[in-house]
Amino acid sequence: MTHEIQQENVFRINDLVKTYQMGEVSVSALRGISLDIHPGEFLVILGHSGSGKSTLLNIIGGLDTPTTGTVQYEDHNLGEFTETELTHYRRKHIGFIFQFYNLMPNLTAKENVEMATEISDDPMPALDALELVGLASRAGHFPSQLSGGEQQRVAIARAIAKRPRVLFCDEPTGALDIATGKIVLEVLQDVNKKMGTTLLVITHNAAIAEIADRVIHMRDGHVSEIEVNDEPKTLDDVVW
Amino acid sequence: MRTLDKKMLRTMWRHRSQIFAAIAVVTCGTACFICLASLHENLKLTRDTYYAQNRFADFEIRLERAPTSTLYELQEIPGVRQVRGRIVEDVKLDIEGVTDARMGRVISVPETGGGFLNGLVIRSGNFFDPGAQNEVILSEQFAQANELGVGEHIKATIDGKKHTLKIIGLGLSPEYVYTIRNVQELVPSPDRFGILWVPRDFAESALTLEAACNSIIGSVESEDQLDTILNAAEPLLDTYGIFAKTKKYDQLSNRILSDEIRNLGVVSRVIPTVFLGISALVILILLNRMVRNERTQIGLMKAYGYSSFAIAMHYFQFALVISLTGCILGFFVGQYLAGQMIEMYVKFFSFPILQSRIYPNILAQAMGISIAFSMIGAMSAAYRAARIHPAESMRPEAPVVGHRTLLERVQPVWQRLSFTWKMIVRNVTRHKFRSTINIFGVMVSTALLIIGFFSIDGIDYLMEFEYEKMQRQDVRVSFYLERGKDALYDAKRFDYVDHAEPMLQYPFTLTNDWRTKDVLLVGLPRHARLQRLMDTEERVVDIGENGLVLTQKLADMLSLRVGDTVKVKPMMGRVTDEKTVRVSKIIQQYFGASGYMNIEALSRVMNESFAMNSVLLKTEPGKEHRLNDELEDIPAVSSIEVKEDSIRNMSETIEMNMKVTSFVSVLFAGVIAFSIIYNITSVSLAERERELASLRVMGFSRDEVGRILYHENMLMGVVGLALGIPAGMIVCRLLVKAFDTEMIRMPYHLESRTFIISIVLTISFVLISNWAIRRKIHQLDLVETLKERE
């Protein structure tokens, strides 16, 4: 590990099981996952579609609840959070990036970021956040006037403006071409390095894994392998 | 069942709350139509059959005393079908155990019975036996209100003499469907005023009118000839002192009943149209959204070979199901309401039979119009669905394009808005059509509230104006004959009397060129304190020393202006010569066509130095009834009215009316507002699920997310409210104009209470809609919504 050893883990995931009841059939999405996530690391969860990676992300992100098992965030158990506490958790501690950006079509880039800053205690100015993703010049544009990559960068700016401890990214480059995808990843990497934000990216794109500190391989609801990159590649070296 | 129909039913079930909201509006519309139109039809038919079966007279001529032989001459006038001479006289009644005043109107009927004009319907007991004396048939409602039955007795003071009359029957007459003594009474007081039908012989001897009559009623071949016939009758009767000629159209009871029926006819068209129009809008929004939702499915169906026509019909079917369900519910609600309304009508109007009936033609009409409106609502959705291209529909819809709004130009304001409000403003302006309908719905709702409460305020105000501002006496005593000043001095000497003022009311014929009008002129002392002359602006009008003060209506009828002269001729009494009087003032009043003069000047018109026929008394507080007891036995007194009693009776009746009116208007306004707001918000929510879900993911709480929709609704609600208030006020003004009759004009008066209640209610409607939508926001599935890309 290139990072200095931190005092504590951000997440301690213990024997997480998630079973969906689909009519009369029950589908197991997670079959007992245990995992620690360290502060400030760039973690990639790699797996094919249906491997349970999104379910895992949703549970750690407080959008979904596990069937059994626990997720420990700092010294809290996410499973014991009330709806209000979950909202507070999402609001103050974490950020989300989705494949499809999910910007408010009605708001300009800057306003989209402001939306997040308005509800946090110590946000960075919206323009600074846009500057960080290299979009300060497009602050007044509406999402429909931006390219996909730009929209995703606005989404990142929106997520980081409230200075979250952890940033969850669900296929952040899934809808983008290679060149644009690289720019987005660069931004994410930047955030991770400069701000020390723990970065959790899920993807089925193995190339992305090469730039991470750690890679969790998932298959059929299990962690099949944990790979530690002692020397993560730079983006320029990655080929996909 | 075809697959397409199954799909429809399931889709409807999925959107059930929205569908129900749409059905509710259709139900209100058809229920209103069925209720009002049936009632209209019912009253019209009941009135017409009642009039025909009991030979309701086409005209009445009131005179002082005409010999019965004149009737033969009248019978000869071409066009006259039947005439009848009778005796009509208002009397004081005495009922055991009742202290306050009871008035009755004695009307003679031929004891031979048979099919006479203004015939009676005997409800219980019998008609007179030949040669009956001291027997009476009492109007049914009066008997019921006073708990009098057949076989009991009632005392009446006729022409100063007390008679004890045995009640042998209870009856009704087409002449008194709406039983009030005069137009100022507004609502009937069945306990205080009744009709006493007596045998002709008895009336003749009691009123010393042997072989004579003081009222002639007649029927004619055709109502068009009425004027000609009445003109032909005049010279024949001139010497007998005609003081009123009334055509059927102007007959008090008939006029009020017919006005009511006419108004009902208007209302039965307007209100359902408003509702069904709104329902068309709700369906429009609902189905348009549905078509957009189902683009892919529609494309797929087309790809499989369903025709555009079949697809279009599919969406028309939605509308059809909504309108038919609404119709069926509307039928039950409408019939129920009609039953309730009839119960209310029966309290005011006495008909031999008035019961809720089902009119198949009205049901068919109701169904026809509600289907028509819903089809109009479905048209654009069906058209859009038919035009969807299969290949195109598989591609995702073009993304929403953000726009800058006008408000953003005002940077100082825009900068200060929170992002929630920025979203709201942009969203409202983005969906202009939808926002307009939302605002429109709230506007209609508020306007309905204002209009509903207006009818209450108007009557309330009229009562207050008439009985508190204008009339300030406690007791009013009327005399049989005109009296001199001594009667005033006598009245002042009675115990408990604080103050007394004279009043003279006398019928005159007013003539200006060829225009002529018979009216009651009122003589009042200058600076009268008990009966003040006021105009509609609540200004006290100085009656002056000389000259005639006319109401605007009478002035218009006679084409008179201030300064003009008019010929005035007493219609009865010894003096019948014409005098010329100058019009000194023209004022606006609520009640009818009348004229006022200084009592002394009016006396001089009658060649008297001073004449009065009633005296107004102010008593020591709470002593009105004591005074009543003392005055009761004075023979010269024809009636005693304690104002408090009259007001109490009217207030009770009006209050009941108010409760019904306000309940119905609040209900209707609520359904309209809720249905529109709920549906539009549901559609808006469905479109923005993704947006709102991502806000939740970012850490916005449910209520914070909901607030975007709630505030948006409130914003439009406030705009709708702001438009609805003036809209309601305008409609109220139009209503005042529309219902302005010769007899009465409704005041345009709205209490501030009405505005406050309307505002509070409208805002409550928005809050209720928001509360209903809250459930949908809480159910927002974050994971699912964000996963799929439409």
Residue with tokens 């996410």: A78
Q: How many pairs of residues across A and B have Cβ atoms under 8 Å apart?
A: 88
Which domain covers residue A47, as residue numbers? Answer: 11-93+164-237
pLDDT of the residue at A5: 47
List the single residue in A95, A98, A105 with the smallest CB-CB distance to B786: A98
B476 Rama class: left (phi>0) / alpha (psi -120 to 50) / beta: beta
List the single residue in B423, B704, B783 with the smallest CB-CB distance to A64: B783
Residue B772, domain member (yes or no): yes
Q: Domain check: are B300 and B425 in the same one?
A: no
CATH code where residue A214 lies = 3.40.50.300
Q: In B524-555, which positions are buried (b, 16+ CB within 10 angstroms) versus exposed (e)?
A: bbeebebbebbbbeeeebebbeebbbbbebbb
Residue with tokens 């009006």: B654
Residues 385..404 of B with a Cβ closer than 8 Å to A: which?
Answer: 399-403
Q: How many angstroms separate the CA of residue B308 from the nearest CA in chain A?
A: 32
Beta bridge pairs of residue B102: B93
pLDDT tens track for B245-267:
889 988 989 988 998 898 889 88
Q: Do A108 and B402 touch (CB under 8 A)?
A: yes
Pairwise CA distance, residues B362 & B76, whole Å:
44
Residue A141, domain member (yes or no): no
Number of domain units in chain A: 1
Residue A135, domain member (yes or no): no
Residue B479, domain member (yes or no): no
Q: How many angstroms separate the CA of residue B679 from the nearest CA in chain A?
A: 21
List the single residue in A87, A105, A114 with the smallest CB-CB distance to B400: A105
Q: The tokens of A140 are what? A: 């007044």
In terms of DSSP H, where are the helices of B108-171? 140-145
Q: Domain check: are B466 and B611 in the same one?
A: no
Supply angle C-alpha B351, B206, B210, rounded to 5: 100
Nearest CA in chain A to B424: A106
Pairwise CA distance, residues B576 & B647, whole Å:
37
Residues 405..424 of B with a Cβ closer than 8 Å to A: which?
Answer: 418-419, 422-423
pLDDT of the residue at B398: 67
Which domain covers residue B460, as residue numbers? Answer: 416-471+645-790
Residue with tokens 């009742």: B98
Pairwise CA distance, residues B370 & B471, whole Å:
49
Q: Do B401 and A61 touch (CB under 8 A)?
A: no
Radius of gyration of chain A (CA): 17
B202 with B84: CB under 8 angstroms? no
Return the SS3 of B99.
Answer: coil
pLDDT tens track for A44-83:
998 888 888 888 888 998 888 889 899 988 888 888 888 8
Q: How many angstroms separate the CA of residue A193 from the nearest CA in chain B?
A: 22
Sheet of strand A222-228, all strands in order from the earlier edge strand to the far edge? A94-97, A166-170, A198-203, A42-46, A214-219, A222-228
Residue B612 class from Cβ within 10 Å (0-12 exposed, 13-18 middle, 19+ buried)? buried
A192 with A171: CB under 8 angstroms? no
Number of domain units in chain B: 4
Q: HEC profile for B603-624?
A: HHHCCCCCCEEEEEEEECCCCH
Q: Domain check: are B672 and B769 in the same one?
A: yes
Identify the DSSP state of A235: G
Phi/psi at B169 (nearest 5 deg)?
-165, 160
B611 with B483: CB under 8 angstroms? yes
Q: Regarding beta strands B135-139 and B212-220, do their DSSP bridges make them parallel or antiparallel, or are they unpaired?
A: unpaired
Interface test with B, best of A60, A104, A112, A120 (most B CBs within 10 A): A104
List the single residue in B691, B704, B783 with the smallest CB-CB distance to A104: B691
Q: Do B783 and A58 touch (CB under 8 A)?
A: yes
Q: The tokens of B663 are what? A: 């309940």
Q: Domain check: are B265 and B368 in the same one?
A: yes
> What is the longest distance spanned by two Cα atoms in chain A?
53
Q: The tokens of B424 are what? A: 């709201």
Q: Regarding beta strands B161-172 and B135-139, do their DSSP bridges make them parallel or antiparallel, or are they unpaired?
A: parallel
Q: Do A102 and B702 touch (CB under 8 A)?
A: no
Residues 680..699 of B with a Cβ closer than 8 Å to A: which?
Answer: 690-691, 693-699
From the list B402, B398, B443, the residue with the least C-alpha distance to B425 is B402
HSE at residue B644, side-chain half, CA atoms within 13 A, is: 12
pLDDT of the residue at B77: 92
Q: Domain check: are B550 and B673 in the same one?
A: no
Compute CA distances A27 → A17, A47, A234, B158, B188, whole Å.
11, 18, 39, 98, 76
Beta bridge pairs of residue B147: none
In terms of DSSP H, where are the helices of B465-523? 485-493
Q: The tokens of A42 are what? A: 């760039």
Return the SS3 of B196.
Answer: strand
Interface test with A, best of B415, B694, B788 (most A CBs within 10 A): B694
**For residue A26, what are the contacts with CB-CB under 8 A and spacing of at least 6?**
A19, A20
Residue B288, domain member (yes or no): yes
CATH code where residue B524 lies = 2.40.40
Phi/psi at A142 (nearest 5 deg)?
-85, 155
E strand intervals along B646-767: none
User: What is the residue type of B441?
Assistant: G
List the single residue in A64, A115, A145 with the smallest CB-CB distance to B419: A115
From the list A172, A47, A41, the residue with the least C-alpha distance to A97 is A172
Residues 424..463 of B with a Cβ closer than 8 Å to A: which?
Answer: 426-427, 430
Pairwise CA distance, residues B343 & B318, whole Å:
37
Residue A185, domain member (yes or no): yes
Pairwise CA distance, residues B156 & B203, whole Å:
12
Residue A1, domain member (yes or no): no
Q: Which of B208, B237, B265 is the last residue of a domain?
A: B208
**For residue B192, what are the contacts with CB-CB under 8 A and spacing of at least 6?**
B100, B101, B102, B103, B645, B646, B649
| Chain A residues with CB-CB distance to B401 below 8 A | 105, 142, 144
Look at residue A29 and tell me whether its pLDDT is greater than 80.
yes
> What is the longest distance spanned by two Cα atoms in chain B?
103
Chain mean position to CA A69: 21
Q: Regarding beta strands B595-598 and B579-587, do their DSSP bridges make them parallel or antiparallel, or are they unpaired?
A: unpaired
Q: Which of B584, B601, B619 is the last residue of a domain?
A: B619
Compute CA distances B459 → B289, B532, B565, B661, B744, whole Å.
45, 20, 35, 12, 11
CA torsion, ordered A48, A50, A54, A56, to nearest 10 deg? -100
Q: Domain check: are B431 and B554 in the same one?
A: no
B678 with B772: CB under 8 angstroms? yes
Q: The tokens of B319 are what? A: 């509308």
Kindly give the parts of chain B with pLDDT less than 50.
790
B727 with B711: CB under 8 angstroms? no
Residues 759..788 of B with a Cβ closer than 8 Å to A: which?
Answer: 782-783, 786-787
Q: Domain check: are B421 and B513 in the same one?
A: no
Q: Which of B208, B234, B252 is the last residue of a domain?
A: B208
**For residue B281, what are the contacts with CB-CB under 8 A and spacing of at least 6?**
B377, B437, B440, B441, B676
Return the SS3 of B471.
Answer: strand
| Chain B residues with CB-CB distance to A143 below 8 A | 399, 402
Q: Domain check: are B199 and B232 in the same one?
A: no
Q: Do A96 and B698 touch (CB under 8 A)?
A: yes
Q: Domain check: are B660 and B723 in the same one?
A: yes
Q: Do A106 and B401 touch (CB under 8 A)?
A: no
From the list B204, B214, B189, B195, the residue with the least C-alpha distance to B154 is B195
Q: Does B741 touch chain A (CB under 8 A)?
A: no
From the list A77, A74, A76, A50, the residue with the least C-alpha distance to A66 is A77
Residue A131, domain member (yes or no): no
pLDDT of the residue at B500: 92
| Chain A residues with CB-CB distance to B427 below 8 A | 106
Residue B478, domain member (yes or no): no
Nearest CA in chain B to A61: B697
From the list A179, A164, A100, A214, the residue with the least C-alpha distance to B690 is A100
Residue B286, domain member (yes or no): yes
Q: Domain check: are B435 and B543 in the same one?
A: no
Compute CA distances A215 → A203, B23, B238, whole Å.
11, 57, 119
Return the SS3 of B757.
Answer: helix
Q: Domain check: are B237 and B359 in the same one?
A: yes
pTM to 2 decimals?
0.81
Q: Do B700 and A108 touch (CB under 8 A)?
A: no
Q: Domain check: are B47 and B101 in the same one?
A: no
B414 with B422: CB under 8 angstroms? yes
| Chain B residues with CB-CB distance to A90 below 8 A | 696-699
Nearest CA in chain A to B691: A104
The residues of A whose Cβ lies within 8 A of any Cβ of B are: 54, 58, 61, 63-64, 83-84, 87-92, 94-96, 98, 100, 102, 104-108, 111, 114-116, 118-119, 142-145, 158-159, 162
Q: How many angstroms separate the CA of residue A144 from the nearest CA in chain B?
A: 5
Residue B627, domain member (yes or no): no
Return the SS3 of B485.
Answer: helix
Q: Do B698 and A116 touch (CB under 8 A)?
A: yes
